[in-house]
Structure 1
Amino acid sequence: MSPGDEHDYRGKDQGGRPDDPYSTLGGTRQTRTRLPDGDAGLPHARRPVRNSRSLVTITGVVVLLIAAIAFANRGGGSDEDAAAPGAEKPGTTGSAPTAATGTKPVQGKNGTIASGFAHDEQGAQSAAANYAVALGSAEMFMKESRHQILDTVYSPAAANKLRAPQDLAYSAEFLARLGLDSDGNAPQGSTFISRTVPVGTKVLAFDDDTAKVAVWYTGLIGMSGQDSTKPVSTTWKTWTAQLSWLGGDWKVTEASEADGPAPVPGDVAASRSDAISKAVEEYGGFTYAR
């Protein structure tokens, strides 16, 4: 966001128009006329001279403030323009682990999942973060949408290999333990919640068309409802994905998951189940980018 060009605050020497309305003679827009001595005492005989030096100082301060705001909020420029002089290029070794790269994360979506990631380290990290979100969503508990997610996130070979084992893992018995029916639906009046929220990503290996990326995330999972015996709780895990550049995008070829690292739980009191259900319905997710 950059400020509009409503006003030219440059000084006369810089090519802008002078903004001082009293800039003509001695800081006032009036002709200097010598009055007779007898008229000197009239209250309207002469307007006081306004000091133009203070106006110039104020204008200079305004110019600096607007320039600082414009620089801090500018957008739409190229990635090279956005980088500070002498700063390392995004994705290079030594850049701050939590710093955003500034490169456009994706070009589009495949269904509800982001796609069209950049063919570089940060694109691989963006892909891994968004794929972790998809694989941790409530849609994974329904067969049809689960197959769509697998086909989108994984390479064709990996998706075909995983489809049957995943169907076995999301068995009717497993779903029942979560309070879902055999099709993955929550009982009437309850809301099943499963969300993944990436905290950070890390490139473990990268070589042109392959990448190994770890995604540290926190998650929400459980049933929100008055009769729920599985209330929504948080988890902390690290998901590590091996990715390959296939068909113009990053695809997962294999993955693993481990618990943690997990912080000490805070002292915020747990919310009522209806508040959790309402929050999940009202707050949408994000497209994640490195």
Structure 2
Amino acid sequence: MSHDDGYGSDSGRTGDGYSTIGGTRQTRTRLPDREGDPYTPRRPARTSRSLVTVVGVVVVLLGAIAFANMGGDDTDNNGPSGTKDKNTTSTPTSPTGTKPVTGKNGAIPSGFAHDEQGAQSAAANYSVALGSAEMFDKSTRDEILNVIIAPSAVNGFRSTLDQAYSVGLFKNLGLNEDGSTPSGFTFISRTTPIGTKVTKNSGDQATVDVWCTGLIGLAGEGSTKPVTDGWFTITMELQWIDGDWKAVTHSQKDGPAPVGGDTRASSADEIAGAVNGFGGFTYAR
């Protein structure tokens, strides 16, 4: 896996196709309307993440892009096309389909297949990009949007996100007023897809749900906004444009979330070291 610090709805959405991005008018994004912690606690000991988080999480939305889910080579049960032989089956947790795309547009994978599998790959990778820490910088955010958003929708996304990534949001996350990270801290915003499924497909249009977990917070001694985790599902409408999938709408809702384990919470230094030391993935079905 190569590390290159890259990236990474229907129901309930308003007439504004991108109203779920960047902590906008749709309540599902959970971006705070007023000052306060951007996550709503799920239970007393934990806080949950948001599309602020996917602000990280797209605002709200939540990295790095490399090679993963490469599958077996041509000598195992997978044929050269990456499909299983007739006499083999995959378990629900097994990677399926072809190897990841090799093309990139900047740091974001591109050149997805014009089928359901390609739409799932695109949605997973775009979720990572929209939930990355790079979204907190205006210049890199615009680059991300230009790559993954349909031309007809990109201006709306940009306007919505420019408003969502505000001084108030930065303050809630412990960042400086310009969105930069205070000295001595490491800002973390990362989304990791767990699985994908196509809920609609009509050839050149597809709707994909991406089940994700994510991290957001400020790692460092004395941080008042420590890194927390969350679980959420992103719904993305995609359109086939000029030989690739592009996002038209994007929304998010909480869960499904597993029961928390008994793992000891790591120190701020351990968390910062892990995020800086472990790169993200290129996702493909």
- Equivalent of 2:263, from 247, 268, 277? 268
Unpaired runs of at least 5, structure 2: 1-71
Q: Which amino acid is 1:112 matched to?
A: A
**Counterpart contact for 1:223–1:232, Cα < 8 Å:** yes
SS at 2:104 equivalent:
strand
Alignment-derived partner of residue 130 in structure 2: 135
Q: CA deviation at 1:83?
A: 2.2
**Counterpart contact for 1:97–1:202, Cα < 8 Å:** no
- Equivalent of 1:228, from 203, 217, 223? 223
SS at 1:79 equivalent:
coil
- Equivalent of 1:104, from 99, 116, 127? 99
Alignment-derived partner of residue 167 in structure 1: 162
1:126-205 residue pairs with structure 2 within 5 A? Answer: 126-205=121-200
Q: CA deviation at 1:173?
A: 1.4
Distance 1:71 1:162 in 2: 40
Q: CA deviation at 1:145?
A: 0.7
- Equivalent of 2:244, from 249, 269, 272? 249
Normalising by structure 1, we get a TM-score of 0.69
**Counterpart contact for 2:77–2:84, Cα < 8 Å:** no
**Counterpart contact for 1:224–1:232, Cα < 8 Å:** yes
SS at 1:275 equivalent:
helix
Distance 2:228 2:75 in 1: 38
- Equivalent of 2:81, from 79, 82, 87? 79
Unpaired runs of at least 5, structure 1: 1-69, 89-94
Provide the aligned length of Structure 1 versus Structure 2: 214
Q: CA deviation at 1:127?
A: 0.4
**Counterpart contact for 1:143–1:183, Cα < 8 Å:** no
1:122 correspondence with 2:124: no
Q: Higher helix fraction: Structure 1 or Structure 2?
A: 1
Kindly, what percent of the aligned residue pairs are identical? 55
Q: Which runs of 4+ in 1 moved over 6 A?
A: none
1:20-39 residue pairs with structure 2 within 5 A? Answer: none
**Counterpart contact for 2:78–2:84, Cα < 8 Å:** no
Q: CA deviation at 1:71?
A: 8.9
Distance 2:98 2:284 in 1: 9
Q: CA deviation at 1:192?
A: 0.3
Alignment-derived partner of residue 23 in structure 1: none
SS at 2:190 equivalent:
strand
Q: CA deviation at 1:97?
A: 5.1
Q: CA deviation at 1:157?
A: 1.5
